[in-house]
Amino acid sequence: MHRPGPGYLFRKRGPLLSVSVEEERDLARRSQAGDREASDRLLRAHLAFIVSIARKYRRYGVPMNDLVQEGSIGLLHAIRKFDPSAGARLSTYARWWVRAAIQDHVVRSWSLVRIGTTAAQKAMFFHLRRKMAEIRGGPDSVTGNPMTEERLRPVARKFGVPLKEAMALARRAAEKDRSLNQRVRADDPAEWGDRLADERESPEDAVAGASADRFRRGLVAKALKSLSGRERAIIAGRFMADTRRTRGAIAADLGISRERVRQLEISALDKLRRLLGRKGLEAI
């Protein structure tokens, strides 16, 4: 399975393709056997699908070309794991992989401030950012770093880190405010802060959520390997797609009855519950 280089889809995609169910299955088998042309055809056939997912992440300041490129890499991973004999369409199975690849790239690209490398550090960083915003919006509004040692003590206890580490991270969080007020270029009146997400969701919350979501879904992805091809397709369509699919729609894809889909769904969830427990199931 090859990895497309930067801008690959936009340089070489040619006209968009439409493939039938049988063509898709044949191309998937050929791609899994190392046929690069088959991989290219599947990428071109699913470009609109990738773009539709990538568009939802444009407001994070990452170029659209890059988002689509990463989504195409996610599709290639999905092709490698796809079971053509299961009966589901590739787009149904690949949606989570494409979205996860794009989210990973957004997180890696969020570099206005170098945040901690561990999940705990990232969570504390975003917590500090929210606390700073609350303080500045209150009666004791201040500029610079409002997180005094007294305010940081409960934060350090909450996240189980030394006070010194919490103070250092608070300084880095405060520095971000100054950098956001800087102009993007000397000849451009726009500031870095203008490139942040809209008010519906802060970038910090989105990245924190994406990081935790990737961790939970990683556990689920491992557990999904214990399911049959049909069970995986049903779980993906019912619980892992952006828009939840009906049992009737999945039944039509798989060529089975709606009742059989319901039975397989229950069986698959029982298997996942035994492997992951309730907390693991929250990931899907």
Per residue in 154-202, pLDDT (tens digit) is 888 887 778 888 887 777 666 544 444 455 555 555 554 444 444 344 4
Which of 67, 64, 56, 59 lies closest to 194 in space, CA to CA? 59
* pLDDT at 114 (0 to 100): 45
Q: Which residue has the higher pLDDT, 59 or 152?
A: 152
Confirm whether 128 is domain-assigned: yes
d(CA 272, CA 256): 22
Which of 159, 165, 191 lies closest to 178 in space, CA to CA? 191
**Residue where a domain terminates, one of 196, 222, 240:** 196
Please provide the size of the chain in residues.
284
User: Taking the chain, what is the end-to-end CA distance rounded to the nearest angstrom?
Assistant: 28
Phi-psi region of 277 (alpha: psi -120 to 50; beta: other; left: phi over 0): left
The answer to whether the beta carbons of residues 190 and 181 sit under 8 Å apart is: no
Give 109: exposed, middle or buried? Use CB within 10 Å, 0-12, 13-18, 19+.
middle
pLDDT band at 26 (very low <50, low <70, confident <90, very high): very high
Range of the domain at 81: 1-109
Same domain, 213 and 163: no
Least confident of 73-82, 195-204, 236-245: 195-204
Confirm whether 201 is domain-assigned: no
Kindly report the backbone phi and psi dihedral angles of residue 61, in degrees, each rounded to the nearest multiple of 5, phi listed first: 80, 15
At 63, which amino acid appears? P
Same domain, 165 and 217: no
**Residue where a domain terminates, one of 153, 168, 196:** 196
Same domain, 8 and 85: yes
Same domain, 188 and 262: no
The average pLDDT across 239-246 equals 74
Confirm whether 160 is domain-assigned: yes
**Residue where a domain terminates, one of 80, 109, 138:** 109
Same domain, 235 and 190: no
Domain count, the chain: 3
The average pLDDT across 189-216 equals 47
Q: In the block, which residue shows the tokens 């940081």?
A: 152
CATH number at residue 234: 1.10.10.10
